[in-house]
Structure 1
């Protein structure tokens, strides 16, 4: 994804994770992805930015002790007007959990839920424009929504963000790719009863790795879990894993790398 595409309204522009143990989580991702960390805005409590070669990649914050929320990677979609986007989300059947609120001088954000219950963020950039490096080991490379069926929820995302919808025509699976300016930026996948009951509809973040099999071994060695072992598909070699606190993500060596 190019610099220009990343800030097109609707394009994934940032990922963040809220956890119980900030120190242990930093140690896990530092070992797995080579991330270094710098303090981020403290409006949401203790919060750090993950860096690769000094460039921002992702955010990790600490959950308040009294909040029993699921630990999950959350993608943020770019917007030019967080308040207007929040109103659209409400009017098309989504809900707003947090915000819109200012993150210091960095930008304005909200945490929202689509009509199927999947959580995502929206980000109106100011000083902080989002993920600044792509395509190398440890960078977010793709976002995919796992939901029961795509027909109704795709209409929500199209109405809010203006995506062009590109259904994958197949009798075997239900998949819609979201396009902006002719480029694919994310996908919606309907998995029916295969949706995990304990999670429901959710966004899955894919991180690029140099070697999927080696990265999966590192995940297990560091106390994480390999949920779906390394396998090949059209997009590359991928594995679905979870960090020690249970945040699920996919590691992939993209085809052609």
Structure 2
């Protein structure tokens, strides 16, 4: 089946990428856990690979750039009509732009930024590569596509300020594909990406066997059964599958 890319509206989550100090270890972990295969990415971005499910791109993995403040972990990217205008708005609204905007061969123009509370996110002005080609559906087994990103969640201690910031920068607040969760008092703000899986509990056991860490769950939610994990290199993410009514934590 040929994947069809659709140009997304401004502010839509369109891509996720992992920066890590151990790309080979990350490929082994996520390849075994989520069934990903890998292919080379844009050379301008350094040691960078794209992850795919049966040839369909879903994410990217790269090395933490030396000498930069870009943290290791997963980054959620949002579609923008103009990366330069969005970067300007980020600064005007009190955020910071750490990398870019810069132009790559297929991706278009991208930048890495942080909101008022320090949560890191990316923006993408699409060129030939419009973003992820497949996404899951919360609580619905990723519509038969385990391993695909299914939703993005902002963990923050100040939802009101975060909503105002993202509305000003991206022209939207809480919309499909974006959730808010209260951070622990004094805890850091961050974007958390959820990947669809066929069975959350089995995925957790597999992650632990591969050297991952269980941070919370599994537990049932209106969107399915969720667990928060960290890969062996410390990158935090979540998995979501069908609910198990009446079942408890793993």
Structure 2-normalised TM-score? 0.88
Which runs of structure 1 show a deviation greater than 6 angstroms over 4 or more consecutive aligned residues? none
1:148 to 157, 166, 176: 157
1:151-192: per-residue Cα shift (whole Å, max 9, x none)?
A: 1121011111111x4xxxxxxxxxxxx12xxxx230222335
C-alpha distance in 1, partners of 2:218/2:20? 26
C-alpha distance in 2, partners of 1:238/1:251? 6
Distance 1:114 1:36, change over 3 A: same
Give unmatched runs, 5+ long, in structure 2: 137-144, 245-250
The secondary structure found in structure 1 opposite 2:43 is coil
| Per-residue deviation, 1:70 | 3.5
C-alpha distance in 2, partners of 1:250/1:143? 10
Measured on the aligned residues, the alpha-carbon RMSD in Å equals 1.9
Aligned length: 233
C-alpha distance in 1, partners of 2:168/2:226? 31
Aligned residue in 2 for 1:191 = 183
C-alpha distance in 1, partners of 2:164/2:65? 34
Distance 1:138 1:11, change over 3 A: same
The secondary structure found in structure 1 opposite 2:198 is coil
C-alpha distance in 1, partners of 2:234/2:70? 12
Q: How does 1:54-133 map to 2 (within 5 A)?
A: 54-66=55-67, 70-133=71-134
Structure 1-normalised TM-score? 0.86
The secondary structure found in structure 2 opposite 1:43 is helix
1:160 to 169, 187, 200: 169
Aligned residue in 2 for 1:16 = 17
